[in-house]
Structure 1
């Protein structure tokens, strides 16, 4: 399968950010042929059949990068993960579960949009099981915990199902933050006739940049810069909805605005 320059760049950035168990897991995830094939087909169905935006290899890598950034910011602010609080694992274990959820959360788009988060869980389950056995071969209890945590992150990423762990909350927000205009580029070119879901493409196409960094008052600051006001749809109807249902909400500052104009603070 052909890997795009964008994917290669993201792969390098992901591996550079990780160490220990998460690095080993990332090496396997990024090179796994079944995962790659499933991501590709999910994207084909999303874009060509349904007319939605990117839900494939690039999107899932961007979500993974977003999630790594958020996890590190929370750690640096002294916020423990759910695994740490429950004394079931350490930060790297939590990060491993978040990585799996990030990289597999949209596999269900290969079946259809409706309930795709539920379809993603049973498609991802055997993959999660297989990969965790490679990284944690001698720790059944750890594999069980991480598998459950990853599945929670996948099933909760659309904000339709209540999640409870901080790790799953990170997935919700990391997914919502992938809204820059490149994600809408292909469907904008392929689909010219009006369709249900067009507002997502047009609003995403107006988002110029999403920045995730340390906040001044709270651990995580998210800033969305857009070229036109249609981008506020993406912020208010997608990202803000996901943050509202996320266990990460108490730790987030959210700003958005048209470039050159005044920033609006939501959180």
Structure 2
């Protein structure tokens, strides 16, 4: 496995990026400080965790998904992958990471209505926020087109709907990549013992690095075989039909020597 130091990624607006970064650097401080968004990210954990004893879907989950989405985007752009969402709306390349950041931030707010079918409930709630934030930044026409792509990516983060853009595919995969032990900490400590909770406990580390054969290599370290559910059931379903199957390689290794029921999974 790759050195653990490479596992931590937090977007740095001052770094050099293989894409135009001025618009994403403008929108990030807005979405991370907006009082309504901040409240939604906290409130959406009430149904998910407090009432349903499900895995974390609050501010920490959103932070991880957003950072991993940007990391995926960066590696894919570095590898020469072309995106179609912004392009087909007549928007320039600088809007690609804007769409990704907004969708990653707002994809789970539908949990405030209900955990079940939350991706559908997220659409009107996110639309209201986007209608408030985007027109002043971009003007009406551009705001509508960005909003359209963000809502598409939000809807498609669950496997019931098929992404039609690679920007949406990134959100779908990044959502599945929040799988380490911290994801299940709240329900596990309060008594939750479902398969999502137990399998998350088995995942030690997730690393996104440049691959030799593909632009992205995802390395997953498991400490027992329960992690197979996260990788082979949940993440495999997220990767399928993402439009990025050929660009992302996933390798999971069970590193605990006395539990070699499953040693290695490769997608």
Alpha-carbon distance, 1:71 to partner: 0.8
Q: Which SS does the other structure have where 2:252 is aligned?
A: strand
Q: 1 CA distance for matches of 2:10 and 2:94?
A: 19
1:123 equivalent in structure 2: 125
Q: Structure 2 matches for 1:196-215, cutoff 5 A?
A: 198-215=194-211
Q: Which SS does the other structure have where 1:148 is aligned?
A: helix
Alpha-carbon distance, 1:83 to partner: 3.9
2:91 equivalent in structure 1: 89
1:257 equivalent in structure 2: 253
Does the CA contact (< 8 Å) of 2:223 and 2:256 recur in 1?
Answer: no
Q: From 21, 24, 45, give the equivalent of 1:22.
A: 24
Q: TM-score, normalised by structure 2?
A: 0.88
1:141 equivalent in structure 2: 141
Question: Are 2:157 and 1:157 aligned?
Answer: yes
Alpha-carbon distance, 1:45 to partner: 1.8
Q: 1 CA distance for matches of 2:174 and 2:234?
A: 12
Deviations 1:47-86 (A, max 9, x none): 1111001101111111100110111111111111114653
Alpha-carbon distance, 1:16 to partner: 5.2
Q: Which SS does the other structure have where 2:45 is aligned?
A: helix
- When residues 164 and 156 of structure 1 are mapped into structure 2, their CA distance, relative to the original with a 3 A threshold, is same
Q: Which runs of 5+ in 1 are unaligned?
A: 1-9
Q: From 222, 233, 239, give the equivalent of 1:237.
A: 233
Does the CA contact (< 8 Å) of 2:79 and 2:215 recur in 1?
Answer: yes
1:42 equivalent in structure 2: 44
Q: 1 CA distance for matches of 2:197 and 2:136?
A: 39
Q: Structure 2 matches for 1:215-226, cutoff 5 A?
A: 215-226=211-222
1:58 equivalent in structure 2: 60
- When residues 57 and 246 of structure 1 are mapped into structure 2, their CA distance, relative to the original with a 3 A threshold, is same
Q: Which runs of 5+ in 2 are unaligned?
A: 1-7, 258-262
Deviations 1:161-210 (A, max 9, x none): 12211100110001000001111111101125x5xxx1000101110011
Name whichever structure is richer in helix by fraction: 1
1:167 equivalent in structure 2: 167
Q: Which SS does the other structure have where 1:59 is aligned?
A: helix
- When residues 12 and 234 of structure 1 are mapped into structure 2, their CA distance, relative to the original with a 3 A threshold, is closer
Between stretches 244-253 and 173-182, larger displacement belongs to: 244-253
- When residues 228 and 122 of structure 1 are mapped into structure 2, their CA distance, relative to the original with a 3 A threshold, is same
Task: Compute the RMSD of aligned alpha carbons.
Answer: 2.0
Q: Which SS does the other structure have where 2:57 is aligned?
A: coil
- When residues 263 and 134 of structure 1 are mapped into structure 2, their CA distance, relative to the original with a 3 A threshold, is farther
2:179 equivalent in structure 1: 179
Alpha-carbon distance, 1:32 to partner: 0.5
Q: Which SS does the other structure have where 1:232 is aligned?
A: helix
